[in-house]
Amino acid sequence: MKKLLPTSSAGSLPKPSWLAEPETLWSPWKLQGSELVDGKHDALRISLHEQQTAGVDIVSDGEQTRQHFVTTFIEHLNGVDFENRKTVKIRDRYDASVPTVVGPVSRTKSVFVEDAKFLRQQTSQPIKWALPGPMTMIDTLYDDHYKSREKLAWEFAKILNQEAKELEAAGVDIIQFDEPAFNVFFDEVNDWGIACLERAIEGLKCETAVHICYGYGIKANTDWKKTLGTEWRQYEEVFPKLQKSNIDIISLECQNSHVPIELLELVRGKKIMVGAIDVATNTIETPEEVAKTLREALKYVDADKLYPCTNCGMAPLPRDIANGKLNALSKGAELVRNELLAANVA
Ligand SMILES: [Zn+2]
């Protein structure tokens, strides 16, 4: 029988301090050349081990081989000039110096497939692999070629589809697209955002997920959250369309967020990765706190479709805190799993 309430993390996990500066986004590598290649693989092995020790059911690479969840993918593409940088506002929120699109974008070889094969060799557990979503990619660039957000997103969707098909062939069980931009640009999500996402998953036989969140626990994001009021209804804008899409799983944040949990009713029928771990605080949740969030979600998500998860990636957190949180996630999920089994709901 398939395990009830399988746990996973939303994406990135902290890197060892010998590989990159801890608790920093876009942290520069501390190694070079072949030492860096070996170091990334060693970090991936450690991250997998930490997930397994914490009892995580669906494991990932913890994004140990990437500097950033969007930029590292873009770095491998043609048509983007990383020397020629412009300052843009990311998700209408904070200024960042980003590369410029100077010509047609294309992928000459796979970006993460070797890393995925390496992870596949290390474990027989289900693997989830995260890729940036098309809309979030275009939001992290200055476009001096297509001059159309929609056109550029469509090109990225085609490239992501090539990568996703190779990841599937490498044995990845769930491919996840990170689309925090879906919580910001509602009109574009409706006009072409979901269509681009569907293009990115076209023809895939493995499971597919979209992760929509309120961002890492960095200051620009926590300041923005303060402006959103007491009820965060952003998900309400995109859920009806996602419910009709071909995406299998929706990953969202529920722990300590002001998202009205009943919005989950709008995506009834989909599998839901319920964020039950807050990544914007160093306080480690108790298993009971995790269980409480999961029980709330169970009012709107069928038990066989609920996947306990973290709100977002944990790269910016201290390593011991992130491990403590993964542990709390497993323990909290176990509490609710046992309740469900005892009640014979499963
Ligand atoms: Zn996130």
**How many Å apart are CA 59 and CA 219, to the nearest integer?**
28
pLDDT for residue 257:
83
Distance 338 CA to ligand 1 centre (A): 28
Tokens matching residue 200: 């990115």
3-state secondary structure of 246: coil
Instruction: Indicate the pairing of strand 128-132 with strand 174-178.
Output: parallel
DSSP H or E run through 208: strand 207-211
**How many Å apart are CA 42 and CA 73, to the nearest integer?**
20
Distance 210 CA to ligand 1 centre (A): 10
> b/e per residue, 119-144, with b = 16+ CB within 10 A?
bbebeebbbbbbbbbbbbbbbbbbbe
Distance 40 CA to ligand 1 centre (A): 22
Distance 256 CA to ligand 1 centre (A): 14
Distance 311 CA to ligand 1 centre (A): 6
Distance 135 CA to ligand 1 centre (A): 14
pLDDT for residue 224:
85
Distance 202 CA to ligand 1 centre (A): 23
Distance 279 CA to ligand 1 centre (A): 9
Distance 1 CA to ligand 1 centre (A): 30
**How many Å apart are CA 263 and CA 207, to the nearest integer?**
23
Q: What angle do CA 335, 337, 343 make, to 5 degrees?
A: 105
Distance 345 CA to ligand 1 centre (A): 31
Domain 33-67+102-136+145-342's class? Answer: alpha beta
Distance 164 CA to ligand 1 centre (A): 19
**How many Å apart are CA 129 and CA 112, to the nearest integer?**
9
pLDDT for residue 1:
56
pLDDT for residue 346:
52
Q: Which has the closest alpha carbon to 232: 153, 155, 311?
A: 311
**How many Å apart are CA 197 and CA 158, to the nearest integer?**
10
pLDDT for residue 90:
82
Distance 180 CA to ligand 1 centre (A): 6
Q: What angle do CA 129, 251, 229 make, to 5 degrees?
A: 140
Q: With beta carbons less than 8 A apart as the criterion, state whether 72 and 122 touch.
A: no
Tokens matching residue 226: 């303060």
Distance 215 CA to ligand 1 centre (A): 5
Instruction: Indicate the pairing of strand 207-211 with strand 249-253.
Output: parallel
Q: With beta carbons less than 8 A apart as the criterion, state whether 157 and 196 touch.
A: yes
Distance 343 CA to ligand 1 centre (A): 33
Per domain, the residue ranges of the chain are: 33-67+102-136+145-342
Q: With beta carbons less than 8 A apart as the criterion, state whether 220 and 94 touch.
A: yes
Distance 313 CA to ligand 1 centre (A): 6
- Listed in sequence order, the residues at least 6 apart from 148 whose beta carbon sits closer than 8 Å to its beta carbon are none
Distance 12 CA to ligand 1 centre (A): 9
Tokens matching residue 127: 């693997």
Distance 34 CA to ligand 1 centre (A): 31
Tokens matching residue 239: 């859920």
Q: Which has the closest alpha carbon to 163: 100, 103, 211, 206?
A: 206
Distance 268 CA to ligand 1 centre (A): 21
| Phi, psi of 252, rounded to the nearest 5 degrees | -145, 170
pLDDT tens for the chain, 346 residues long, are 589 999 999 999 999 999 999 988 888 999 999 999 999 999 999 999 999 999 999 999 999 999 988 989 999 999 999 998 999 888 878 888 889 999 999 999 999 999 999 999 999 999 999 999 999 999 989 999 999 999 999 999 999 999 999 999 999 999 999 999 998 898 999 999 999 999 999 999 999 999 998 887 788 888 888 888 888 888 888 999 999 999 999 999 999 888 889 999 999 999 999 999 999 999 999 999 999 999 999 999 999 999 999 999 999 999 999 999 999 999 999 999 999 999 975 5
pLDDT for residue 277:
97
Residue 121 to residues 12, 102, 117, 298, 323, Cα–Cα distance (Å): 20, 38, 6, 35, 23
Distance 341 CA to ligand 1 centre (A): 31
**CA 263, 265, 270, 274 torsion-angle sign:** positive
Distance 263 CA to ligand 1 centre (A): 18
